[in-house]
Amino acid sequence: MKAVRIEAPGIIHMVEAPIPEPEEGFARVKVEACAVCATDLEIIDGRIPANYPLIPGHEWSGIVDAVGSDEDASWIGKAVIGSNDVVCLKCDACRSGNWRYCKNFEEIGFKRNGAYAEYVIVPCYGLAEKPDDIPFEEAALCEPLGVALGAMQKADAKFGNTMMIMGSGSIGLCMLAVGKAMGMRRITVCARSEGRLGIAKQMGAYATIATENKDLEAEIAKIHPDGTDVIVDATGIESCIQSCLRICTKGGTVVLAGYGRGKMMNIRMDDIHIKNLRVIGAGNNWNMHKKAISLMEDGLIDLNPMISRRLPLEDFESAIEMARKRPEGFVKAVFVRVEH
């Protein structure tokens, strides 16, 4: 099969790889769509621990074409999305539903081969069926959507809360979609430049602020005169996190959903202490694929505006370049399968 493989940090190319065989409990999925994530760039550059050589790709959808054991045969032929978590299902963490804390945790696209390929091997216990009327490329976005769903759940965000989102990348925009569906008020999306704020408006943001030419704190005070209850940082950038902590209302919640790239950061501790803020870590997808696809199916969430380019896997170099350079209005590139 054709696959895009990272041989070592910085070295990525298309290879002809053997079609993988599913072991017991696993399914082989013929990949119909796989989105390029900013995290993939971190893996390509060697800034996130991964097992090289590695086929990346953790935002996928496809059709099950083989399974490792007969008891899973009912999955064959079904259109699916699914969890990337490969876990033991036996330890205390797994049994309490906290798959992420499994001692033997491995993630598809990080430690195991992902979906920048014609086929990917995934665990059957994480599969969810894709409804016919959701296109494969939108279904692939259930992965970042699941991150946003888990983050808002952890934030204990309430109907009618005011909300601000720092960052207009895919996680920021998924947070917007979830916040809208949850009845958050006056959701304001902030980013350095106008680049993707048009997409945020299209997806229903109440307001947007380009911080390079506006005073963020003065603007948000006008939009949320009674305070900002829930703030999501989807940038992982020190100055942005400092602003979030400063802006958040007393007793409010700041959700940290951006990757900090291992950096040490300065924060003004008193912003948290004196205002009694809740600061929540929210970095991963916690078995939210099924919920995510249900919300899409019911029309409560539409991520279609986030798909900027559909292209075949062969064009991986231009997809990665776009993801790095983020031209005006670009959010996501998605690889889609083409018949050869």
Q: How far apart are CA 246 and CA 197, in angstroms?
A: 22
Q: Does 87 bind Zn ion (CB under 5 A)?
A: yes
* Phi-psi category of residue 236: left, alpha or beta, with phi > 0 → left and psi -120 to 50 → alpha: left
| CB of residue 39 to Zn ion, shortest distance in Å | 5
Joined tokens for residue 124 = 């059957």
Taking the least distance from each CB to Zn ion, the nearer of 96 and 276 is 96
Instruction: For residue 252, give the 3-state DSSP assignment.
Output: strand
For the CB of residue 93, give the shortest distance to Zn ion in the complex, in Å.
5
Q: Which of 4, 29, 102, 256 binds Zn ion (CB under 5 A)?
A: 102
Read off the amino acid at residue 95. R
**Of 101-109, 131-139, 280-288, 304-312, which segment contacts Zn ion by CB under 5 A?**
101-109
Of 245 and 333, the one with the shorter C-beta distance to Zn ion is: 333
CA distances (Å), 30 to each of 2, 7, 258, 288, 309, in order?
Answer: 12, 23, 31, 22, 21
Question: Looking at beta carbons only, is 87 or 163 nearer to Zn ion?
Answer: 87
Of the pair 100, 278, the CB lying nearest Zn ion is at 100
Query: Which DSSP state fits 42?
Result: H
Residue 86 lies near Zn ion (rule: CB under 5 A): no
**Nearest approach, Cβ of residue 144 and Zn ion (Å):** 5
- Token digits of residue 256: 């940290």
User: Considering the complex, what minimum distance in angstroms separates the CB of residue 213 from Zn ion?
Assistant: 30
Least distance to Zn ion from the beta carbon of 198, Å?
Answer: 22
Name the one range near Zn ion by CB under 5 A: 42-50, 89-97, 110-118, 290-298. Answer: 89-97
- Hey, CA dihedral for 244, 46, 305, 191, is it positive or negative? positive
Is 293 a binder of Zn ion (CB under 5 A)?
A: no
**What does the alpha-carbon distance between residue 38 and residue 33 come to, in Å, rounded to a whole number?**
16
Tell me the C-alpha to C-alpha distance, in Å, between residue 266 and each of 53, 127, 162. Answer: 35, 41, 26
Both tokens of 172, joined, read: 């920021």
Nearest approach, Cβ of residue 43 and Zn ion (Å): 10
Asked if residue 48 binds Zn ion (CB under 5 A), the reply is no
37 binds Zn ion (CB under 5 A): yes
Binding residues vs Zn ion (CB under 5 A): 37, 39, 87-88, 91, 94, 102
